Structure 1
């Protein structure tokens, strides 16, 4: 993946060759490419491609649903923050400007910014479920949204559509616990949201499994379709899986959005 300065497909300051152009009277002699000029009766300037750093905004769901963890698994919030910070480290090392979606941690470059990002990601929790925050997103920037996306779908759809309207492209990473994928429940079970706002009791939890898995598959499909329609990338990661595999996917996904 190419991090840091990215080509803008026009001449300017950079390290990559862009094109040869005929020298003009205003060009300094030191800029002339004498090897290329020797093959013709005209002098030529070797232009380089204009390169500039990009702005990347991170949104990591801090809602209470992200605190869920089955036995032996890390909380979804811990995995989501770790992945976001790992991506931020590489982006900052590459010279990108990285910040948090919202207004608390504006995008900046440099090593000290990583500390600001870490502090911002650890600050507080919201309600039962979260929705992406697109405040502060500049046109043509990039973004990464990390969440379980288990709450109402409409706020997610609205946020991503508005971001796409600004020319923002990025990646959606859904983080789920293995129990949320397998639904290994049977008999009498009380289901309660992490914040206590939603409670459901059943005597035959196994009877709900097929409907639950159908709705989960439908949610994933809607997220995938929404990402495709807006030019974003989508993937689902389980906390039982290696974090490295998710990080490798994020590298490729963010490169595709540049």
Structure 2
């Protein structure tokens, strides 16, 4: 029987391979450094109290209702006093929630000869390993539209199983949802979507006040455009085929458009105080994982520095 080499089959192989590699990666990082960051964050929380929104029983504050969240969240008594809708938030008494969304659309399956693995496999390794480290530090991790936040020690298994049993269309950007105002969001993808779509996504995810990080995972060939001669470029998500007679003549225009696209994304993330970085699949996944974990720690301590914004491979 011939092997199934379709997109779903390739994704299944990538998920299973990333499962094992992510555990090895998470285990190999310097635990003392991570533990020190966790303790520091806990000390800061202890000094300032847990006056944060969450699932506790004590009232904390009212906030404006955000379009897209469930109507049952509205506090109708408070809203009746004003022309706006309000949500009653309770004092934060639960773990911090981090939403991790790895892009699994067809374009992520690309891998050139220069790459260690496909963009899909690379992003899954980082997503799984990051989830493992966050749960070990007492956080909850979820996948938008796929897996609710969990603090389970078997978080990698839960993520992998959720993906393997997911029969929805593979979208390039995360689905619309309303995270809590204190949630962190990590989106791993190639971000080749039009800037208007990326802008809309960011507006929705940040509307509640949540912070996040966009990581553009790219193949080395997508950075340098090392093509020459007659080349046929196939768009993996159904937008057709383009043939270049002399591909090398496209290089300058390609790099200019790439820089512009990244500048536009960075302008949007800077405006929202989010982070944006790029990472090539010929680089170490551990490097990106350490960067993301440092960003999580800094965010919990209230730091959004220009040093962090620079990223590991920006």
Residues 6-60 of structure 1 deviation map (CA, whole Å, 9 limit, x = unaligned): 61764469xxxxxxxxxxxxxxxxxxxxxxxxxxxxxxxxxxxx97520111111
The match for 1:114 is 156
| CA–CA distance in structure 1, aligned partners of residues 270 and 203 of structure 2 | 11
Q: Secondary structure of the residue that 2:296 maps to in structure 1?
A: helix
The match for 1:180 is 222
Q: Secondary structure of the residue that 1:71 maps to in structure 2?
A: coil
The match for 2:206 is 164
Contact 1:187-1:203 within 8 A present in 2 as well: yes
The match for 1:84 is 127
TM-score w.r.t. structure 1 length?
0.77
TM-score w.r.t. structure 2 length?
0.64
| CA–CA distance in structure 2, aligned partners of residues 116 and 11 of structure 1 | 32
| Counterpart mapping for 1:38-57 below 5 A | 52-57=94-99
RMSD: 2.3
* CA pair 54-142 structure 1, distance change in 2 beyond 3 A: same
Structure with the bigger percentage of helix: 2
Query: Does 1:220 find its partner at 2:220?
Result: no
Q: Which of 170, 194, 200 pairs up with 2:242?
A: 200
* Gapped regions of structure 1 (runs ≥ 5): 14-49
The match for 1:153 is 195
| CA–CA distance in structure 2, aligned partners of residues 159 and 12 of structure 1 | 30
* Gapped regions of structure 2 (runs ≥ 5): 1-33, 52-91, 301-314
Q: Secondary structure of the residue that 2:149 maps to in structure 1?
A: coil
Contact 2:131-2:155 within 8 A present in 1 as well: no
Q: Secondary structure of the residue that 1:58 maps to in structure 2?
A: strand
Q: Which of 267, 283, 295 pairs up with 1:241?
A: 283
The match for 2:74 is none
Decide which structure has the larger Cα Rg and report it.
1
